[in-house]
Amino acid sequence: MGFEIRRIEIERKTYKLVKTFRISLGAMSESTVIQIRLILNGGTVGLGEASPSFKISGEYLNSVETALRELSQEFIGEDVRNYRVLFDRIDEMFRTFPSAKSALQYAILDALTAEYGLTPFEFFGGAKRKIVSDKTVGIDDVNTMVEDAKNIKGEGFRTIKIKIDSVDFALDVVPKIADATGNIGYIVDANQALKPKEAVEVAEKLHSLGVNVLVLEQPVFKHDYDGLRFVRERSPFPVAADESLYTRYDAFKLARDECVDVFNIKLMKSGLSDGMAIVEIARSAGITLMIGCMGESSLGITQSIDFAAGLGYFTYLDLDCPFLHAEDSKYRGYIRDGDELTVLDREEREKLKD
Ligand code: MN
């Protein structure tokens, strides 16, 4: 057994998407990630991945890569069994690089659990070996979005996430998708594009049309906590914070001021440290949990699958980013069948490592 970190390697990878993915904040046709390979002194390897988003988090790719390359070296010689101490140091050092926090913290847990023949899924609690994800329809012309939604249902997905960017667009496309896909259940995500009153208008009209909206996600500007609460108090549907929620401090304020019904945690916004804290704040405050993603490959999404499946507290899972990729990592900690994701055990995972 060897629990000391001997080497940390950083590599940049770019994966092409099946089609350009558009949200209210911009569009992407490929995803560039930073992958970590953390090697313990006995040779055990832990993997991790950062998927930085400049438009959402202000994380510039080159900065994240440089920070990981240089600062991660300070952890050489550290014992991964002291993961909590290491997580606190990572929180301090990578304060402005949450995706780097996730990659390094997960790589530490991956190596620690591998040394014991376990997985991070088991470390987090081993609650549900199988979880169900939605899949997202990006912004496009309305007919294309309806076709995309029909295809997603055909692939076996039981919940569809729909990106919108204005009142008129939402009231046009969401009912049409609901008509075409049997009103199965929709997460409507505005990515901050609406004013509070507009968000209430969208929610009330979709409700009066009988559209089965499960969650209205981040309707208003990320810093407008009062606006979130305004929408929450008037919306017939649960309201979620996504871009408004990065750290445990955000979660505390959102919970204290009763701004939202749902927290959308993304490890790329919070790392594992703040992700774990946010989960407990949500459970204390009776807030429903959702987990989402940025542009992770299958390696990167394994972090969130282990976290969500291991804890088992998540009602809504939006872990579809690798399904939108035309190219993917060789490594994955799960297999997918329709909308079901089943975690792999340590032995199965090790076969997929280079
Ligand atoms: Mn979102």
Tokens of 237: 């549907």
Centre of ligand 1 from the C-alpha of residue 112, in Å? 31
Ion ligand 1 nearby residues (CB, 5 A): 189, 217, 242
Ligand 1 center to 268 CA (angstroms): 12
Instruction: With a cut of 80, say whether residue 1 has pLDDT above it.
Output: no
Let me know if 266 is a catalytic residue: yes
**Which of the residues 266, 269, 330, 353 is marked catalytic?**
266
CA angle 94–108–98, rounded 5-degree value: 25
Q: What tens digit of pLDDT does each residue of 305-354 get? A: 999 999 999 999 999 999 999 999 999 999 999 999 999 999 999 999 98
Number of other CB atoms surrounding residue 88 within 10 Å: 12
DSSP string, 92-107: HHTTT-HHHHHHHHHH
In Å, what is the CA distance from 91 to each residue of 54, 58, 84? Answer: 19, 17, 10
pTM greater than 0.85 (yes/no): yes
- Per residue in 195-205, pLDDT (tens digit) is 999 999 999 99
Average pLDDT over residues 269-291: 98
C-alpha span between 15 and 298 (Å, rounded): 11
Q: Which residue has the tokens 């912004």?
A: 139
Q: What is the pLDDT of residues 74-100, one digit of tens each?
A: 999 999 999 999 999 999 999 999 999
pLDDT band per the 50, 70, 90 thresholds, residue 266: very high
Q: Does residue 223 surpass a pLDDT of 80?
A: yes
Structural contact between residues 185 and 171, judged by C-beta atoms closer than 8 angstroms: no
What's residue 207's pLDDT? 98
Ligand 1 centroid – CA 315 distance (Å):
15
Cα 282 to middle of ligand 1, angstroms: 18
Torsion angle (degrees, nearest 10) of CA 267, 269, 274, 280: -70
Ligand 1 center to residue 218 CA distance, Å? Answer: 6
**What pLDDT shows up at residue 354?**
80
Q: For residue 153, indicate whether it is catalytic.
A: no
**What is the C-alpha separation between 51 and 297, in angstroms, rounded?**
8
Residue-wise pLDDT tens digits, 170-180 = 999 999 999 99
Q: How far is the CA of 294 from the centre of ligand 1 (A)?
A: 9
Active-site pick, 163, 195, 253, 269: 163
Beta strand 340-343 with 334-337: parallel, antiparallel or unpaired? antiparallel
Cα-to-centroid distance, 243 and ligand 1 (Å): 7
Per-chain mean pLDDT for the chain: 97
24: confidence class by pLDDT, cuts 50, 70, 90:
confident
Supply the pLDDT for residue 135: 97
What's the CA-to-centroid distance between 24 and ligand 1, angstroms? 10
With 80 as the cut, is the pLDDT of residue 291 above it? yes
Q: Which residue has the tokens 């069994």?
A: 81
Give how far Cα 314 sits from Cα of 87, 277, 303, 311, Å: 23, 14, 14, 8
Identify the helix (H) or strand (E) that includes residue 208: helix 196-208
- Would you list the DSSP string of 49-81? EE---HHHH---HHHHHHHHHHHGGGGTT-BGG
Express each pLDDT in 127-159 by its tens digit: 999 999 999 999 999 999 999 999 999 999 999
